[in-house]
Amino acid sequence: MWDQPTPQPPSAPVSQPTPEALPPVPVPTAPIPIIDQIRVTEKKKRSRSWDEQNRATAFRGIPPEVQAQVKAVAKTLDVTVSEVARAFLEFSLESLRRGDLRLSSSFSQGKMMLYSNAAWGQSAAWSERPAGTLPPAPKKKNAKAVQALELEKPWRRPMVSYRHLPAGVLENIEELREQHSVPVGEVVSLLLRYALAAYEDGRLVLHPQPRRAAHLDIVS
Amino acid sequence: MKPHIITISNQKGGVGKTTTAVSLAHGLALKGKEVLLIDLDPQGQCATTLGLTPEPGAFYLLTMGTETHETTFLKQYVRNTGREHLWLIAGNQTTMAAQTVLNSQNKPYSVIRESIARFTRGNLNYIIFDTAPSVGGIQERAVWAADMVIIPTSTEYLSTDSVRKMTEMLIMLQQSKGWHGSLLGVLPTFYSDQLREHRAAMEDLRQGFGDRVLTPIHRAAVLGECPGESKTIFEKDPESRAAQEYQDLVQRVLKHS
């Protein structure tokens, strides 16, 4: 076990200095790292004001080849992609208004829904199976085929954003979407495809104009 | 918009200041930025590296006033480097004489900043100073003029010691001379991760400067060949590791300015 402390004889009291008489004891401090003594360049904060003022409209499901074609036209004309997209959409919507372009929707094979917009509240979306009957055995699907199908789904395609689309254009697209019960991306794809074909045929001509210079000159 | 002023500085020679200044300047110019490189080193090697002749541009920049006729005269020394967006005010031995003039006239620390103000009203995005490896007046004034300072250092004991001296100078300028700039980082150069001494020096730098130690530039023969061919690393071998490492530096500058 531990040793017991041996009792010490009482010693004569030593006169202790009063707290007021004690000199201040310097507290040891760690040296300040050199980097903390120098002002360092902070990372620039990115201004988002331009993005806020120039909101982009994003569309999903535009096929990559259509996106690439629009981009190629923009590059050829030395204008922005959004401007080409706007011109194409305006042209297609105008063609639609004139009756040169007609849209029709059809049921998609392989895609099912429980509640259709057209028969809201009228179609029977569910029913009870009579007691004692077995559900049909589910068909086995090829895993690779399922994966490939999954990758092809429009919502898996990357989104594309166009800026400065006029409100009227967006309203017309929204109307078409409601009218045909199809995704917005599908409407936009179709309109872009139509305009691209017209552009390639030479029916649609785009007129790029030089940008106004940023510098002012004095005219004497 | 005012240009960002960057000074490449270290009191020790042979640490890659000129290579860094030229590579950074050309890297930024390749990104479409308008860059003016000013060579304050009397050796005038920025001009040689870019295929031009050393001349007293820096001397006039340091000694002339800001009157219109003086500015007109000085602008004759702003050379087109033959590379898009990259301009140079070259230096030569006369830069040393300018140092004597500055010191004899007891010019303030702000003298270089005031002198380059004539260039800050144009469309320049960056002004980059390459400095001489000495303390004699020009280097301190070039640092005082800077918004950002980069300290290149080779990864050896003596070089890292000179970084300590540089930081002491920065602290002095900041605390008693009203310098408003900041340290972008310490750039290790001639680095070889196979050498124990280099690894130890890197470790020292990281302990002292933390994330302010920039991506090291590895020792590369191609960097030594560039001046002889009057090419920058982006022209000589844009795919090389050295070019990629200087590209990192360019990105760092862009993100911080």
CATH number at residue A186: 1.10.1220.10
Q: What is the pLDDT of residue B158?
A: 79
The answer to whether the Cα torsion of B62, B63, B68, B73 is positive or negative is: negative
Q: Give the alpha-carbon dihedral of B87, B85, B23, B160, to 10 degrees.
A: 70
Task: Give, in order, the Cα–Cα distances in Å from B145 to each of A140, A213, B33, B179, B188.
Answer: 74, 32, 20, 8, 23
Looking at the complex, does the CB of residue A143 fall below 8 Å from at least one CB of chain B?
no
CATH classification at residue B92: 3.40.50.300
What is d(CA B84, CA B88) in angstroms, rounded to the nearest whole number? 12
In chain B, the residue whose alpha carbon lies closest to the alpha carbon of A34 is B208
Q: Mean pLDDT throughout A105-122? A: 61
Query: What pLDDT does B232 receive?
Result: 95
CA geometry: angle A34, A35, A37, nearest 5 deg? 70
Which residues of chain B lie closer than 8 angstroms to A45, CB-CB? none
Would you call B209 an interface residue with chain A, using a CB distance cutoff of 8 Å? yes
Cβ-Cβ contacts under 8 Å, A39 against chain B: 174, 181-183
pLDDT digits (tens, 9 = 90+) for A10-41: 555 555 556 566 677 776 666 677 778 888 88
Residue to test with chain A: of B169, B171, B173, B180, most A Cβ within 10 A: B171
- Give the separation between CA A144 and CA B31, rounded to whole angstroms: 44
The pLDDT value recorded for residue A77 is 93
Task: Please state the rounded mean pLDDT for residues A71-82.
Answer: 94
Could you tell me if residue A196 is inside a domain? yes
Pick the closest to residue B72 from B119, B111, B123 (CA basis): B119
Q: Is A47 on the interface with B (CB under 8 A)?
A: no
Task: For A33, name the nearest residue in chain B, comparing CA atoms only.
Answer: B208
In a domain, A38, yes or no: no
Pure H helices in A78-166: 81-98, 143-152
DSSP B239: T
Asked if A38 and B174 come within 8 Å (Cβ–Cβ), the reply is yes
**Contact assignment for B184 to A40 by CB distance below 8 Å:** yes
In this prediction, residue A115 carries a pLDDT of 61
With CB atoms and an 8 Å threshold, state whether A34 touches B255: no
Phi-psi bin for B149: left (phi > 0), alpha (psi -120 to 50), beta?
beta
User: Are B232 and B26 within 8 A, CB to CB?
Assistant: yes
In a domain? residue A9: no
How many domains does one find in chain B?
1
Per-residue confidence (pLDDT) for residue B144, from 0 to 100: 95
Task: Tell me if chain A has a CB within 8 Å of the CB of B241.
Answer: no
Q: Which of B251, B229, B230, B232 is nearest to B240 (CA)?
A: B232
- How far, in Å, CA of B157 to CA of B94, rounded? 32
Tell me what pLDDT residue B106 has. 87
Chain B environment of A34 (Cβ under 8 Å): 164, 167, 208-209
Residue B157 has a pLDDT of: 79
- For residue B222, the distance in angstroms to the closest alpha carbon of chain A comes to 31
At residue A6, the pLDDT reads: 53
Contact across the interface for A35 and B210, Cβ inside 8 Å: yes
Cα A193–Cα A195–Cα A200 angle in degrees, nearest 5: 95
In a domain, A75, yes or no: yes
Residue A169, domain member (yes or no): yes
What range does the domain containing B175 cover?
Answer: 4-255
- Counting one residue from chain A and one from chain B, the pairs whose CB atoms sit within 8 A come to 42
Helices A81-98 and A64-77: crossing angle, nearest 10°?
A: 110
Contact list in B for residue A41 (CB cut-off 8 A) is 147-148, 182-185, 256-257
Q: Where in A25-181 does DSSP place strands (E)? A: 56-59, 160-163
Please list the alpha-helical segments (H only) found in chain B.
17-30, 45-49, 57-63, 68-75, 94-104, 111-116, 138-145, 157-176, 196-209, 221-225, 233-236, 241-255
Answer whether B144 touches A (CB < 8 Å).
no
> How are beta strands B126-130 and B35-39 bridged, if at all?
parallel
Predicted pLDDT at A18? 62
Distance CA B19, CA B23 (A): 6
Shortest Cα–Cα distance, A84 to chain B (Å): 25
Lowest mean pLDDT segment, chosen from A141-145, A174-178, A187-191: A141-145
Please state the rounded mean pLDDT for residues A50-67: 89
Determine the pLDDT at residue A220: 57
More confident residue, B22 or A51: B22
- B13, B112, B104, B20: which is closest to B60 by C-alpha? B112
- Residue A140 inside a domain? The answer is no
The pLDDT of residue B8: 96
SS3 label, residue B47 = helix
Domain that holds residue A75: 55-101+158-204
For residue A14, being part of any structural domain is answered with no
Q: Please tell me the distance in Å from B97's CA to the nearest CA on chain A.
A: 32
In the predicted model, what is the mean pLDDT of chain B? 92
Q: Considering its fold, how many domains does chain A have in total?
A: 1
pLDDT higher at A215 or B28: B28
Residue A63 belongs to some domain of the structure? yes
- Using a CB–CB cutoff of 8 Å, tell me whether A152 touches chain B: no
Using 70 as the pLDDT threshold, list the residues of chain B that sit under it. Answer: none
**Treating both helix axes as pointing N-terminal to C-terminal, what angle do A81-98 and A184-201 enclose, rounded to 10 degrees?**
90
Nearest Cα residue to A93 out of A167, A191, A182: A191
Distances (CA, A) of B249 to B22, B152, B182, B186, B255: 12, 11, 16, 11, 10
Q: Is the pLDDT of residue A179 over 50?
A: yes
Q: What is the mean pLDDT of residues A175-186?
A: 89
Whether the pLDDT of residue A89 is over 90: the answer is yes
